[in-house]
A and B are shown apart, each in its own frame.
Chain A
């Protein structure tokens, strides 16, 4: 009992009296959950966007929920529709559209989110609840040991020298769907909305050279580990993984152009903290956050004011000449005949391999 001096007892008493106010102050901290991609995206997004946001807004805590795919992200919210545990979702535009149609995401306007006025026009997509937060492109990844000079054309996928050494993610994966549209252009197939038959026919000629239509764990690892020599993937991840495996893998952006992939940021309908969620969305779309994220993971920013270094720009599709070669694709339209593309692949492409 000798250790309990009168001063200590008084201090403990004061703490006890103050406790209700301490608890109340801690309860005032607002918590939001952001669901987006797992793996590299998660690691870098936390450092580049979430941590600086929490530092600038000490009253808001952001929890990150990593999801392997956008569809799983929406699936989680379908299950939680009555009481959503997620406030903000970053996901592919096609999935965001489906979620918006089901009322899972709440459309946001420039009045609620003034930062939307700073975005490029392509970032605001009709019928999609939230604006685009990143753009990406489909690229080729290649094994450095097998290519003395970097490939410059998509036609390299039809080079018989790579027989059994190509990895392609087939539809319904969006990479395969994108490749269909690229092949359709290469084959002179015209407007993809009318017909993709020529593209399918051309892909059928590539089929016997393909080792796998479902690379595991993903096409990036398959190329980096030397399982295949050539694959297709998304630029941001491919650039980051090639940086980590600089002696084994590199990325090529073919001269015929590519297709953009769009990730949107969406407010969950029924979010318990909509103001904090909008505050986070505003920061994620700001020039500062967009520039930081692009420098770290090479996504193309959607904010016109995002100042990115020349080195980072070279690793994205954001250079003027690459932007000029981009194949214009309306993903919402493509989603309507994705099943048809998948069926054509199964009947006329995969069956030939």
Chain B
């Protein structure tokens, strides 16, 4: 037996072992992800009658009515820009907090736990909390009234959705940023300072570029969660903020138009795919 034969045998044995090890996860993925997504795509090619019952057979009627309706295009655009706005606000609020936590010398672990502790409470409960704080008789409007300021509509509006979603997504952003800050070498900042750079220059030229992988990861995570989020926009939007996720709920649960709900779900998957592509490209540039 030659050396090359032994290597080939080892490779084929290793391949078989790898395949055996991968089989359970492939099986789970086929059952729990690929099959439901295929079912969803198939459903999008069906058509519902005016009373909600589904017609037999498949065609492009639902897709063509959806693509030709300007209302859905405006909803798609609104979903993307509200998702982007929430992501941006979350990033702006989370960045200094995450930087402070990553540089804390005392009780760093405790601070991290405090930052992510909201995840221990369900998003529904936290959203109800915001309804109490921002509601007409809530703490914040009452505070504003005590300063003779007429409070704006803080819930049942787009503003309410942005506030609620930002708070819900901050732990995810902080965790992603903390992973990015782990790569920061403080000696580089010291070197820059030694060479005469001010704090702003150090931040702009050293800290921010080196933390970009964490920023990009956090943005991707928050954008995807914001676009697919249903509970908070439904509860804090008061029926005024129609997004893809809330429309899917209405079509699937209220009007029973499952084909339209399936088309919109596929549309959300396309948005996610595009976001992932952007993330991949931007990651390459940053690295």
Task: List residues of chain A with CB under 8 Å of any chain B CB.
Answer: 69, 71-72, 74-75, 78, 94-95, 97-102, 164-165, 170, 172-173, 211-214, 216, 226-227, 332, 335-339, 342-343, 346, 350, 353
Contact = CB atoms under 8 A, between A and B. Distances in A.
Contacts of A72: 253
A339 B255 contact: yes
Contacts of A94: 51-52
A287 to B, nearest CB: 31
Top-9 shortest CB links A-B: A213-B239, A214-B239, A101-B53, A98-B52, A212-B238, A336-B50, A98-B53, A212-B156, A335-B51
A97 B235 CA distance: 30
Contacts of A214: 156, 234, 237-239
B52 to A, nearest CB: 4
Contacts of B242: 346
A211 B53 contact: no
Nearest to A337: B50
B256 A74 contact: yes
Nearest to B246: A214
A173 B239 CA distance: 11
Given A170-B239, A336-B51, A339-B50, 9 more contacts: A69-B253, A71-B52, A71-B254, A98-B52, A164-B136, A173-B254, A213-B240, A214-B156, A336-B50
A243 B137 CA distance: 25
A339 B53 CA distance: 14
Given A164-B136, A214-B239, A226-B137, A172 B49 contact: no
Contacts, number: 81
A258 B256 CA distance: 25
Contacts of A227: 135-137
Contacts of B54: 102
Given A211-B156, A213-B240, A227-B136, A69 B52 contact: no
A178 B54 CA distance: 24
A98 B256 contact: yes
B254 A69 contact: yes
Label chain A's interface by main secondary structure.
helix
A74 B52 CA distance: 11
B240 A350 contact: yes
21 contacts: A69-B254, A71-B254, A75-B258, A78-B258, A94-B51, A97-B51, A98-B51, A98-B53, A99-B53, A100-B53, A101-B51, A101-B53, A102-B54, A211-B136, A211-B238, A212-B239, A214-B238, A216-B131, A226-B137, A227-B135, A338-B255
B132 to A, nearest CB: 10
B71 interface: yes
A210 B70 CA distance: 26
B254 A353 contact: no
B252 interface: yes
B264 to A, nearest CB: 14
B224 to A, nearest CB: 24
Nearest to B56: A102
B189 interface: no
B167 interface: no
B256 A75 contact: yes
A102 B253 contact: no
B240 A172 contact: no
A95 B52 contact: yes
Interface in B237-278: 237-240, 242, 250, 252-258
Interface string B47-79: 001111110000000000000000100000000
B237 A71 contact: no
A351 to B, nearest CB: 9
A101 B256 contact: no
Contacts of B238: 211-214
Interface string B127-145: 0000100011100000000
Contacts of A216: 131, 234-235
